[in-house]
Chains A and B, each alone.
Chain A
Amino acid sequence: MCGIVGFLARTPSLRNSLGTQVVPMLTCMGDRGPDSAGLAVFTEPLPEGSRKFSLFAPSRTYDWAALQQRFRDDLGTPFQFTAVENHARLTAEIEAKRVKGWLRERAPELHLLSVGRAIEMFKDEGHPREIADRLGFAQMTGTHAVGHTRMATESAVTPAHAHPFTAGEDFCLVHNGSLSNPYSVRRKLERLGVRFETDNDTEAACRFLEWRMREGDTLEQSIEKGFEELDGFYTLLMATADKLLLVRDAFACKPAVVAETDDYVAISSEFRALAHLPGIKDARLFEPVPEQIYSWPV
């Protein structure tokens, strides 16, 4: 089991209260996935050239001040920085490649969770409620968010194995289900130079889709190819800077329910995670059908 949640706010007031809407969803789905959780929050994109880097440290008492000093000394680029415990966000007008290289060299203990003009990412081991409290999910604002609660069945329980997974920029994916051919997908991609960070099956799906997009496919075309390539059970919820996207495999053994109103689109594994949302009684509720791509623009 695992739980997935997604929320796309269509009004300024819901964007300002994005975290307040999402936290009860994530906490409720803690029943389906109590061992780790994660949340990707998308905001209005930064200007071209600027990027947000979400960082994860191995310790909750990591010396972020020292890291900032090193960054300032080494790169001399102006930047903004905020940190909560073992998570931090660095914002700067800088190429992703430069930051990645610098992190490898100067802060190899850090894990780069996400890069993009819109995405910010948080994930950790522990109960979703506890993680949401610690990292202040309820205060987060933005256009849309994708969350996951994990009950591991196929690889280790570590922060790096928690969802969402990301590849490239401003793209993330969460998965309820299990793939039966992640290693063959992975071998195929590794031969093409794609690098993996974990042995998690979802990472294979994430990197497969991102590889297809780099090859020129749209996300929708990548998913069509994924229907052929990815074997197993999955409900996949994905987000880019400009949309939220949902698919279920041909057997559709892994649940999902969608609630849509003029004000928002909310997605969860179970309805009870949506029951608190404003106007839910009048929302259009439906269960996504197998192998159909559902997408909602921001």
Chain B
Amino acid sequence: MARVIEFDLSRRSVRELNQYLHHELPAGEQRVEILNPNGMHSLAVGLDAPIDVEIRGHAGYFIAGMNKQASVTVHGNVGWSVAENIMSGTVRVKGCASECAGASGHGGLLVIEEDASSRCGISMKGCDIVVGGSVGHMSAFMAQAGTLVVCGDAGPSLGDSLYEATIYVGGRIASLGADAQEEPMTKADFDRVASLLKQAGIERDPKSFKRVASKRSLYHWHADAEQEY
């Protein structure tokens, strides 16, 4: 088993950390622990290797952005835009996430074990996001592909201007955004939710979930639609 390499941010810079993870990690070393993150931004961004990164504490903005292959776990909260543009791999936040979690993510899995704030999954393009708690307003805004699973409640304007992403909500939905609608759950939906909950390691009965998807009425421009623009 590979040894655990510790990287202490009270002694070395974020730039050194990312450089190390990109270029200097010795072959065969697969596990890095980042100590004293103290809310710093852009930790473990742009990774492209099958390594495990554990961030021990609260972290700042853009954590694990553009992640490929790697598995990044934050033992604390994160600021804005965790796992933005995630391509593959897994990013897990043991605490809460601030706004825009998983923004524009193309693939891979983002797990927020507690709450995520507003605009969670904004413009997601194929990644999966599982939130153990609740999400804030305008989550999955303009989401194009992928799945957002919210075990708790969803804030106002959920799925506004939604494209082809699918949202599952276990709790209450404050309100749906423009062009989002609740749809009946099929067996495929229950299976999808069960599979994602399992991957996320969150125990919840898939039966309690509701499905939200696009009405697709904004796909085409209606110049004469009420003339209220």
Q: Verify A255–B80 contact, CB threshold 8 A.
A: yes
Instruction: State whether the Cβ of A272 lies closer than 8 Å to any Cβ in chain B.
Output: yes
- The dominant DSSP class at the A interface is loop
Chain A, Cβ-Cβ closest to B38: A275
Which of the 9-residue segments A52-60, A119-127, A283-291 touches chain B? A283-291
Q: Which residues of A contact B99 (CB under 8 A)?
A: 252, 255
Contact flags B126-139 to A (C-beta < 8 A → 1, else 0): 00000000001100
| Cα–Cα distance between A274 and B40 once the two chains are bound (Å) | 11
Q: Verify B79–A270 contact, CB threshold 8 A.
A: yes
Contact flags B61-81 to A (C-beta < 8 A → 1, else 0): 100000000000000010110
Instruction: State whether the Cβ of A271 lies closer than 8 Å to any Cβ in chain B.
Output: yes
Q: Which residues of B contact A290 (CB under 8 A)?
A: 118, 137
| Cα–Cα distance between A97 and B79 once the two chains are bound (Å) | 46
Instruction: State whether the Cβ of B98 lies closer than 8 Å to any Cβ in chain A.
Output: yes
Q: Which residues of B contact A289 (CB under 8 A)?
A: 136
Q: Which residues of B contact A257 (CB under 8 A)?
A: 79, 98
| Cα–Cα distance between A272 and B77 once the two chains are bound (Å) | 11
Give residues of chain A (114-152) contacting chain B, Cβ–Cβ below 8 Å: none
Q: Verify A255–B98 contact, CB threshold 8 A.
A: yes
| Cα–Cα distance between A158 and B111 once the two chains are bound (Å) | 45
Give residues of chain A (278-298) contacting chain B, Cβ–Cβ below 8 Å: 285-287, 289-290
| Cα–Cα distance between A257 and B39 once the two chains are bound (Å) | 11
Cβ contact of A272, chosen from B60, B96, B118, cutoff 8 A: B60
B96 to chain A, nearest CB (A): 8
A261 to chain B, nearest CB (A): 15
| Cα–Cα distance between A64 and B28 once the two chains are bound (Å) | 68
| Cα–Cα distance between A286 and B136 once the two chains are bound (Å) | 13
B15 to chain A, nearest CB (A): 15
- The dominant DSSP class at the B interface is loop
Q: Which residues of A contact B136 (CB under 8 A)?
A: 252, 289
| Cα–Cα distance between A289 and B135 once the two chains are bound (Å) | 11
Q: Verify B137–A272 contact, CB threshold 8 A.
A: no
Q: Which residues of B contact A272 (CB under 8 A)?
A: 38-41, 60
A247 to chain B, nearest CB (A): 15
A283 to chain B, nearest CB (A): 10
Q: Which residues of B contact A274 (CB under 8 A)?
A: 39
- Given contact pairs A271-B77, A271-B79, A252 touches B60 in the complex (Cβ within 8 A): no
Instruction: State whether the Cβ of B117 lies closer than 8 Å to any Cβ in chain A.
Output: yes
| Cα–Cα distance between A271 and B60 once the two chains are bound (Å) | 7
Interface size for chain A: under 10, 10 to 19, 20 to 34, or 35 or more residues?
10 to 19
Q: Which residues of A contact B98 (CB under 8 A)?
A: 255, 257, 287
Chain A, Cβ-Cβ closest to B98: A287
- Given contact pairs A255-B80, A285-B58, A275 touches B39 in the complex (Cβ within 8 A): yes
| Cα–Cα distance between A166 and B6 once the two chains are bound (Å) | 48
Chain B, Cβ-Cβ closest to A286: B96
Q: Which residues of B contact A271 (CB under 8 A)?
A: 39, 58, 60, 77, 79
Give residues of chain B (95-116) contacting chain A, Cβ–Cβ below 8 Å: 96, 98-99
Q: Which residues of A contact B118 (CB under 8 A)?
A: 252, 290
Chain A, Cβ-Cβ closest to B95: A285
| Cα–Cα distance between A136 and B38 once the two chains are bound (Å) | 26
Cβ contact of A270, chosen from B39, B96, B117, B137, cutoff 8 A: B39
Q: Verify A275–B80 contact, CB threshold 8 A.
A: no
A267 to chain B, nearest CB (A): 14
Q: Which residues of B contact A255 (CB under 8 A)?
A: 79-80, 98-99
| Cα–Cα distance between A273 and B40 once the two chains are bound (Å) | 10
- Given contact pairs A252-B118, A255-B98, A287-B117, A275 touches B137 in the complex (Cβ within 8 A): no
- Given contact pairs A252-B118, A287-B98, A270 touches B58 in the complex (Cβ within 8 A): no
| Cα–Cα distance between A257 and B80 once the two chains are bound (Å) | 11
| Cα–Cα distance between A290 and B58 once the two chains are bound (Å) | 23
| Cα–Cα distance between A274 and B39 once the two chains are bound (Å) | 8
Give residues of chain A (253-277) contacting chain B, Cβ–Cβ below 8 Å: 255, 257, 270-276
| Cα–Cα distance between A192 and B154 once the two chains are bound (Å) | 43
Q: Verify B60–A270 contact, CB threshold 8 A.
A: yes
| Cα–Cα distance between A286 and B58 once the two chains are bound (Å) | 12
Given A270-B39, A272-B39, 17 new contacts (CB under 8 A) = A252-B99, A252-B118, A255-B79, A255-B98, A255-B99, A270-B60, A270-B61, A270-B79, A271-B58, A271-B60, A273-B39, A274-B39, A275-B58, A285-B77, A286-B96, A287-B96, A289-B136
A-B contact list, 26 entries, CB within 8 Å: A252-B118, A252-B136, A252-B137, A255-B80, A255-B98, A255-B99, A257-B79, A270-B79, A271-B39, A271-B58, A271-B60, A271-B77, A271-B79, A272-B40, A272-B41, A273-B39, A274-B39, A275-B38, A275-B39, A275-B58, A285-B58, A285-B77, A285-B96, A287-B98, A287-B117, A290-B118
Residues of chain B at the chain A interface (Cβ within 8 Å) = 38-41, 58, 60-61, 77, 79-80, 96, 98-99, 117-118, 136-137
